[in-house]
Amino acid sequence: MKILILGGGGREHALAWAISQNPKCTSLLCAPGNAGIAEIATCVALNIDDGEAVAAFAKAQAVDFVIIGPEAPLALGVADALRGEGILCFGPTADAAQLEASKSFTKEICAACNAPTADYAFFTDPGKARDYVEQQGAPIVIKADGLAAGKGVTVAMNVADALQALDDIFASPGGAVVVEEFMQGEEASFFVLSDGKTALPIGSAQDHKRAFDGDKGPNTGGMGAYSPAPIMTGAVTKKAMDEIVNPTLAEMARRGTPFQGVLFVGLMIRGGQPRLVEFNVRFGDPEIQTIAMRLGGQVLDLLLATAEGTLDQISVNWADDHALTIVMAAKGYPGAYKKGETIRGLGERSPQVKVFHAGTVKSGADILSNGGRVLAITARGKTLQDAHDRAYARLKRINWPGGFARSDIGWRAL
| Residues at the interface with ligand GLY (CB under 6 A) | 150, 207, 221-222, 280, 284-285, 287
DSSP lists the bridge partners of residue 200 as 193
Residue nearest to ligand GLY (CB): 222
Which of ligand AMP, ligand GLY, none interacts with 195 (beta carbon under 5 to 8 A by kind)? none
> In angstroms, what is the minimal distance from the CB of 189 to ligand GLY?
7
> In angstroms, what is the minimal distance from the CB of 80 to ligand GLY?
23
> In angstroms, what is the minimal distance from the CB of 275 to ligand AMP?
8
Binding mask 273-292 for ligand AMP (x = CB under 6 A): ----xx--------------
| Helix 298-308 vs helix 10-20: crossing angle, to nearest 10 | 100
Q: Which is nearer to ligand AMP, 386 or 408 (CB)?
A: 408
> In angstroms, what is the minimal distance from the CB of 74 to ligand AMP?
16
Cβ-based neighbour number of residue 317 at 10 Å: 10
> In angstroms, what is the minimal distance from the CB of 250 to ligand AMP?
23
> In angstroms, what is the minimal distance from the CB of 152 to ligand GLY?
12
Q: Which is nearer to ligand AMP, 17 or 283 (CB)?
A: 283
Looking at residues 125 to 144 of the shown chain, list those that interact with ligand AMP (rule: CB under 6 A): 141
State how far the Cα of 325 lies from the Cα of 276, in Å rounded to an integer: 24
Stretch that binds ligand AMP, among 148-156, 232-240, 360-368, 385-393 (CB under 6 A): 148-156
> In angstroms, what is the minimal distance from the CB of 356 to ligand GLY?
14
* Residue 182 binds to ligand AMP (criterion: CB under 6 A): yes
Q: For residue 32, say if its preceding peptide bond is cis, omega within 30 degrees of 0.
A: yes
State how far the Cα of 213 lies from the Cα of 406, in Å rounded to an integer: 5
State how far the Cα of 56 lies from the Cα of 82, in Å rounded to an integer: 9
Q: Which is nearer to ligand GLY, 287 or 341 (CB)?
A: 287
Binding mask 186-215 for ligand AMP (x = CB under 6 A): -x---------------------x------
Binder of ligand AMP out of 66, 101, 118, 176 (CB under 6 A): 118
Do residues 190 and 232 touch, judged by C-beta distance below 8 A? yes
SS3 letters across 217-238 = EEECCCCEEEECCCCCCHHHHH
Q: Which alpha helices (H) appear in 256-371, and where do they start and end?
A: 287-295, 298-308
CA atoms within 13 A on the CB side of 111: 9
State how far the Cα of 20 lies from the Cα of 15, in Å rounded to an integer: 8
Which of ligand GLY, ligand AMP, none interacts with 386 (beta carbon under 5 to 8 A by kind)? none
* Of residues 359, 262, 300, 303, the one with CA closest to residue 8: 359
> In angstroms, what is the minimal distance from the CB of 223 to ligand GLY?
9
Indicate the burial class of 172 (C-beta count within 10 angstroms; 0-12, 13-18, 19 or more).
exposed
Which of ligand GLY, ligand AMP, none interacts with 180 (beta carbon under 5 to 8 A by kind)? ligand AMP
Which of ligand AMP, ligand GLY, none interacts with 169 (beta carbon under 5 to 8 A by kind)? none
Stretch that binds ligand AMP, among 41-49, 82-90, 181-189, 396-404 (CB under 6 A): 181-189
CB crowding 39-58: b at 16 or more within 10 Å, else e: bbbebeebebbebeebbebb
Q: Which is nearer to ligand GLY, 8 or 221 (CB)?
A: 221
DSSP lists the bridge partners of residue 275 as 268
* Of residues 27, 19, 30, 25, the one with CA closest to residue 54: 30
Cβ-based neighbour number of residue 363 at 10 Å: 12
Stretch that binds ligand AMP, among 20-28, 182-190, 224-232, 374-382 (CB under 6 A): 182-190
* Residue 266 binds to ligand AMP (criterion: CB under 6 A): yes
Cα–Cα separations (whole angstroms), residue 182 to 101, 232, 261:
21, 21, 29
Size of the site for ligand AMP (CB under 6 A): 14
Binding site for ligand AMP (CB under 6 A): 118, 141, 150, 153, 155, 180-183, 187, 209, 266, 277-278
